[in-house]
Amino acid sequence: MENLLSSNEIIFMTYNYTEIKDLMTKFLTLTSGTLVISIAFSEKITKTHEADRLVRMLMFSAWSLLFMALIFGGGSVIYIAAAGGCVVYKSVPFFDCNVNRLNLGSVSLGMLAGLSFGIALLCMAISAGRSILLSK
């Protein structure tokens, strides 16, 4: 019976692990969909071949930021999975099993992913707005 989880570990697995994992999984789906749709419809939205240099730079920046958001979000999922593995198995390859540090790393990467996503959306909005203003 030595493998029973402590109350802190039960709370972590019940709330932190499941909530962060679900949130980041949905976030990765949203971000990858936004990236694919923005690339697919970039010609219709900003008329890339006719756009000025700033519009093209903003769209490239937005796509780069979305890609970074995917990387940060994926890192967040890896860290929270490692934290969960540390709680359940007491060891995980390639990670020091400090659950609090892994949880903090996951949350921090998730926040960076969200920030990258938000700035990317802002870049796309400015790019589309500038493109519309210049086309008139």
CA dist 87 and 118 (Å) reads 33
Q: For residue 1, is pLDDT > 50?
A: no
The mean predicted confidence, pLDDT, of the chain is 90
Q: Give residue-wise pLDDT tens across range 34-82.
A: 999 999 988 887 777 777 899 899 999 999 999 999 999 999 999 999 9
Contacts 24+ apart (CB under 8 A), 49-58: 50/135, 51/127, 51/131, 51/134, 52/130, 52/134, 54/130, 55/127, 55/130, 55/131, 55/134, 58/123, 58/124, 58/126, 58/127, 58/130
Q: For residue 2, is pLDDT > 60?
A: no
Tokens of 133: 């203003």
How much is the pTM?
A: 0.89
